[in-house]
Amino acid sequence: MIQWTALPTLFPLRSGQSISLFFAFIKSFPFSIASSSSPISAPEESEPTSIDHLSSQLLNLLSHPNWQKHPSLKNLIPSLSPSRLSSFLSQNPNLNPHIACSFFDYLSRLPSFKPSVQSYAPLLRILISNKLFQVAERTRLSMIKSCGTPDDIVFVMGFVREMNKCDDGFRFKLNAWAYNTLLMSLSRFVMVDDMKCVYNEMLNDMIKPDIYTFNTMINGYCKLGNVVEAEVYLSKILQAGLSPDTHTYTSFILGHCRKKDVNTAFKVFREMQKKGCRRNVVSYNNLIHGLCETRRIDEAMKLFLQMGDDGCSPNVRTYTILIDALCRLDRRAEALSLFDEMQEKGCEPNVHTYTVLIDGLCKDSKLDEARVLLNVMSGKGLVPSVVTYNALIDGYCKKDLVDVALNIFDTMESKSCIPNVRTYNELISGFCRTKKVHKAMSLLDKMLECKLSPSNVTFNLLVHGQCKEGEIDSAFRLLRLMEENGLAPDEWTYGTLVDGLCERGRVEEANTIFSSLKEKGIKVNVAMYTALIDGHCKAEKIDFAFTLFKKMIEEGCSPNVCTYNVLINGLCKQGKQLEAAQLLERMPESGVEPTIESYSILIEQLLKECAFDHADKVFSLMVSKGHKPDVCIYTSFLVAYYNEGKLKEAEDVMAKMAEAGVRPDLMAYTVMIDGYGRAGLLNRAFDMLKCMFVSGYEPSHYTYSVLIKHLSLGGLDLKTEASFINIADVWKVVKYETLLKLFDKMREHGCPPNTNVFSSLAIGLCREGRLEEASRLLDHMQSCGMSSCEDMYTSMVNCCCKLRMYEDSARFLDAMLTQGFLPRLESYKLLICGLYDDGNSDKAMATFFRLLDCGYNNDEIAWKILIDGLLKRGLVDRCSELLDMMEKSGSRLSSQTYSLLLEGLDRTHNK
């Protein structure tokens, strides 16, 4: 029994963890801890969770001749778990063995009860002590076969070995059947070292291996592709005077395929026929899978069609292997056709088949079809696996539909399907892609709560997300948090940091990190070099960029097309088009072929300088090299022609785009809208806006800036009238009446304003501190029956803070929370620091206290509110009181965050 006095040592309470929570944890134990003497009040003996009480009830029940029909059985079953069954059998070793066995079998047949391998052990002891060896043999085999994890098989191995050797009346020798079953279980988990030990123990026990023994050993090694070791056991088959059978050959087909030697696998497959050994569906499946893994799908399909000649019918695995391979090769139409064929032939798809197709549909952006397939699958009684849900979550996240992905995540949990690290990584990636790293960080906390260890991929995604939002300091803090979690930052971690620093113009810091990597044992890759070269080009240090380029080549790191493109772009930005063109021409000499982007950079720069003839020559050269112009190149020509007022030429470019089957993108549409606006053709500009909506594009903030500019000018022809509104100043001078006019024009042209329109306009106004007009927009939007979006509220909160209207800011923030939005920590930082600056410390503390319950990552709260907010403003005492509040509320911080806080408090205090 566990003694109460030992509990504080075994289970230390964390800071802020309540005593009631501790007792809830203790009560979850399957055994009664309360039976030991203690001054602390213990649960009553009559409590149904007490194992002693349960044991007496079970003994009473099993004493009845027809216990299966006894009314108390139904009430007792919910209290039984595998561990409690094990305890009951252990505590009652004198139980009638026939009743014990019958009771165990009865429970095993219940859908809600699955015996653990540990629960077989006391039953076996009861059977052996009563010399019921035949029943014990069947029970031991069931125990071995029930192993579901490597830990299970390790327990079973230890137990059967103990019984094989002990001399206390419980000795139960292993026979050939038991040894072979044990070897098969070990083979299932590819535990070949343990297999070899068990095989040697079998020989030491003077038990002669048979064909099943040798085949099991061969199969275990072949699963690892270790054909050489497998051949040792093949020779033992021949030495024993036995003949290799279908299982032997099939294992070797698998082994050669696992080592990517499909040709040798084919030889073994053909040899089977020559030796008169029947090939079965597993033989075919192993070879078909090997061909598919080496992208030889057409040969696999040919083999699939030959199965009937051998009297073999494809099974669900055969079809699934081929459907998976076709999907991975983007031949999804063929995959769907094969899926239909398998059902027509009466071969029912399984969970894996559906998962493969759902994943393929998601990769094809056919998310609705994938969702339908999930429903079909569930309707057939198939339970989607974590891999199935992950495929859907990944598909929605890649289309930036993270809220839909979260709904699937919730469905997954409600169906008792436990998310894994990959599930969280896909959601984290989705939030980071949509610039909501604060939501991604909250998932890191949830992972840790679920006892899931974040991987390097998890932290690399978060580092990338912080860098993308310009939070470089937080990215570096994540680096230290990563190390605290026992993970080593890799080349992708540092590559992201180098790129992030360069993007923010902090090239010297990027240089320092880059130079330190060799000491850290991190190999510098082409992506890191390219990011650093690009950073120096943007910082107008083109000579140093070329120095890095030469160093890169000297160190054996071959530049790729991206490296050349950033150099060409750097040269163009400095007006060195001739050198850029020369570099473009020299690329093939280095084994790197220019891409369409390489030509596009040069063409765009030439067009900016109105060098149309030169741009046309580069364009013709690009086409002659076999490159098909894309929308970006056409858009560059559109911009140039519209800037010069050459509407006819611009429309010719649009006609060429249509002829080439190139659809305009968001930027192309915006350029055309601007072009018509410049020409004073407002109606045509709005017609183009309608086309944009029909094509599935949401206009950007810049698109609306363009439209508002031209509406403000009243549709004047800018060829004759100079523009008196700079595009950057639109939101400073626009009248509210012009915005209403925009709505009217949009409705007139069949594209009524939606949430995105109101949000874009409100954000533009808020950036210029025009809160009154933004608030009027919000009211107008709500009067139209639309709900405001997260970004709109965020801009209102931040605008109020900048205007020192903290009460209004808090009101908008509360509205966000009420509508289920998670405000950004930047908004909380502005509000809390502003309230302290305004002398309203009570409101600041109340706001902070509320955010602690919103599900943010605690470390990030400390980083962004306490360190980047209060300490940077010198508010040491305020920082201390909020840190104290976090500790009292039970918020756990990493040791490195505590260190940062202590350093910051000390440094700020000394100042």
225 pLDDT above the threshold of 60: yes
575 CB-near residues (< 8 Å, 6+ apart): none
Q: How far is it, in rounded angstroms, from Cα 809 to Cα 828? A: 10
**Nearest in space to 536 (alpha carbons), one of 491, 561, 501, 586:** 501
pLDDT single digits (tens) 76-133: 888 888 989 999 999 999 999 999 999 999 999 988 889 999 999 999 999 999 999 9
For residue 364, the SS3 value is coil
Single-letter code of the amino acid located at 156: V
pLDDT single digits (tens) 397-445: 999 999 999 999 999 988 889 999 999 999 999 999 999 999 999 999 8
For residue 525, the SS3 value is coil
505 CB-near residues (< 8 Å, 6+ apart): 535, 538, 539
Residue-level pLDDT at 169: 63
Residue-level pLDDT at 47: 40
pLDDT single digits (tens) 573-606: 999 999 999 999 999 998 999 999 999 999 999 9
**523: which DSSP letter?**
P
Distances (CA, A) of 354 to 316, 321, 358: 11, 12, 6
Average pLDDT of 466-486?
93
Residue-level pLDDT at 291: 96
Tokens read off for 17: 């963890």
Tokens read off for 525: 């890759």
pLDDT band at 50 (very low <50, low <70, confident <90, very high): low
35 pLDDT above the threshold of 90: no
Residue pair 627/596 in contact (Cβ under 8 Å)? The answer is yes
pLDDT band at 669 (very low <50, low <70, confident <90, very high): very high
Tokens read off for 362: 């998601």
Average pLDDT of 746-751?
94
Tokens read off for 801: 């803070």
Question: Cα angle at 909 between 907 and 911, to 5 degrees?
Answer: 70
Placement of tokens 């605290």 in the chain: 484
Q: How far is it, in rounded angstroms, from Cα 97 to Cα 119? A: 15
Q: What is the dihedral of CA 28, 31, 34, 36, to 10 degrees?
A: -150
Share of the chain above pLDDT 70, in %: 92
pLDDT single digits (tens) 311-343: 899 999 999 999 999 999 989 889 999 999 999
Half-sphere exposure of 142 (CA within 13 A, CB side): 19
Tokens read off for 625: 């090299």
734 CB-near residues (< 8 Å, 6+ apart): 708, 712, 765
24 pLDDT above the threshold of 60: no
For residue 325, the SS3 value is helix
Tokens read off for 245: 């059978």
Tokens read off for 10: 């075994």
User: Which pTM was predicted?
Assistant: 0.80
CB environment 554-567: b (16+ within 10 A), e (fewer):
eeebebeebbbbbb
33 pLDDT above the threshold of 70: no
One-character DSSP codes across 123-155: HHHHHHHTT-HHHHHHHHHHHHHT--SHHHHHH
Mean pLDDT of the chain: 88
CB environment 430-447: b (16+ within 10 A), e (fewer):
bbbbbebbbbbbbbbbeb
Question: Cα angle at 806 between 801 and 812, to 5 degrees?
Answer: 85
**Nearest in space to 583 (alpha carbons), one of 644, 538, 639, 537:** 537
